[in-house]
A = this chain, B = another copy of it.
Amino acid sequence: MNTPLKIAIAGLGTVGSGTLQLLQANADLIAARCGRPVRVTAVADQVKNKDRGVSFDGISWYDDAEAMVANADADVVVELIGGAHGVAKRIVEAALARKRHVVTANKAMLAHHGLALAQVAESGGVTLAYEAAVAGGIPIIKAMREGLVANRISRVSGILNGTCNYILSTMRATGRDFGDVLREAQELGYAEADPAFDIDGVDAAHKLAILAAVAFGTRVDFGAVSVEGIRNVTATDIQYADEFGYRIKLLGIAECADGTMSLRVSPCLITPDMPLAAVDGVFNAIVAEGDFVGRSVYEGRGAGARPTASAVVADIADIAMGRRVPTFGVPVAALRQLAVRPLDARVGASYVRLAVVDRPGVFADIATAFRDESVSMESVLQRGRNANANVNVVIVTHESEDAALIRALQRLQNNAAVIEPPHMMRIETLQ
């Protein structure tokens, strides 16, 4: 039998335990496919007394992940602790410096420190792998970096956060409002007790920053991502969007053209015939557009112990087989730094909802503001007033520059009859 590949796992939470379960359950299969056994020699976690459904025979236990990295007999350190800047980053740096390969699911760390860590890995001649960091079980990093290697990628877009997608899908299916569905998602374990990272779009933005680096061969730049979450999406918006023939999805969209790039995470309106429109619940999906391959779509479970473990072990198998690829597709020195196009330079259609007092002249004010900024309306919908004599005016614009629409909405915000900040969402026509 060939030399086993020795693995040390830092962090035995959901994903860490799932990875250990997978490596034990499918050990024979993995050994056959890797041409050698994959053996866990050490694990580190602060909580020892807990049933994880796995055997710890022959595995050294460390309470301290840093001590494990310093002392364990391992070829690969698997970092599943999480967090952008703390112990996770320290052990990844230490492992790479000791010329150990690193496999991680840590999107926050990569979004913030991916470039520096890739440099350390490259200098040491070891692998820094992170399939599990983006879209859980979907092998999207491999697809982009190897499967589509021949293509100039112009756009990557996707549903990158299962929590948000579950909330938006459930709001649409039930007509219930955001806060109500969020509470239910928390009870079901689909949303964290502190849901901010997910619902404010930060988690999706981490993943988009990583995807963009791989797709465009650029330095990971989390600061380049414009981020808007789903807190302000109401049941009313979902209902109006439906009436106009759209679904609302939290999308991450990365575009590259003319030597500039645009990275944004925000709730968007898309038509039901788009591949992403049918992706409901906790599923993730990514659409990549390349100059030769055209459009390709990847869908699967974006989170959870077992799908994420599947991605972690795929990275381990690449290491076991000696398959190498630069961290972000090309050597660090060849990664580009592209100018970031401002978000409001986009040209496209938008959805706008204005809550206004229903009195004469308000509609004329709205129409005037749009006309003065040369934003033309494709559709307008106004319903009977509610108990407070307020109405929603909902507008779908023709293609226009976002900057012009934003100026029109700023004018209206100063109008006393407009009683809430205007709700604006982009309509995206990704093919």
Contact = CB atoms under 8 A, between A and B. Distances in A.
Given A299-B275, A324-B321, A329-B33, A151 B310 contact: yes
A296 B299 contact: yes
Which bucket holds chain A's interface residue count? 35 or more
A74 interface: no
Contact of A147 (B139, B150, B290, B326): B139
A32 B34 CA distance: 28
Interface in A253-280: 273, 275, 278
Nearest to A330: B32
A300 B285 CA distance: 13
Given A294-B137, A306-B294, A149 B334 contact: no
Contacts of A291: 25-26, 306
A24 to B, nearest CB: 12
Interface stretch (A4-12, A178-186, A312-320): A312-320
A326 B323 CA distance: 12
Nearest to A143: B139
B146 A317 contact: yes
Contacts of A290: 310
Contact of A294 (B30, B149, B275, B307): B307
A54 interface: no
B297 A301 contact: no
Contact of A300 (B18, B25, B273, B295): B295
A330 B29 CA distance: 10
Contact of A149 (B143, B292, B309, B317): B317
Contacts of A35: 326, 331
A53 to B, nearest CB: 14
Contacts of A67: none
Contacts of A147: 131, 139, 142-143, 311, 314
Copies per assembly:
2
Given A26-B151, A32-B217, A313-B149, A293 B321 contact: no
Nearest to A304: B294
A99 interface: no
A150 B307 contact: no
A143 to B, nearest CB: 5
A292 B317 contact: no
Contacts of A311: 147, 293
A189 interface: no
A366 interface: no
Contact of A296 (B25, B33, B148, B300): B300
B306 A293 contact: yes
A150 B330 contact: no
Interface string A144-179: 001111111000000000000000000000000000
Contacts of A321: 324-325
B310 A300 contact: no
Contact of A322 (B149, B300, B309, B324): B324
A30 B150 contact: yes
A139 B146 contact: yes
29 contacts: A22-B150, A25-B291, A26-B292, A32-B217, A32-B330, A33-B149, A33-B217, A35-B326, A139-B296, A142-B143, A143-B143, A147-B314, A148-B310, A148-B314, A149-B313, A149-B314, A149-B317, A150-B310, A150-B317, A275-B299, A285-B297, A292-B306, A292-B310, A292-B313, A294-B306, A295-B300, A295-B301, A296-B299, A296-B300
The 4 closest A-B pairs by CB, nearest first: A139-B147, A296-B300, A150-B313, A137-B293
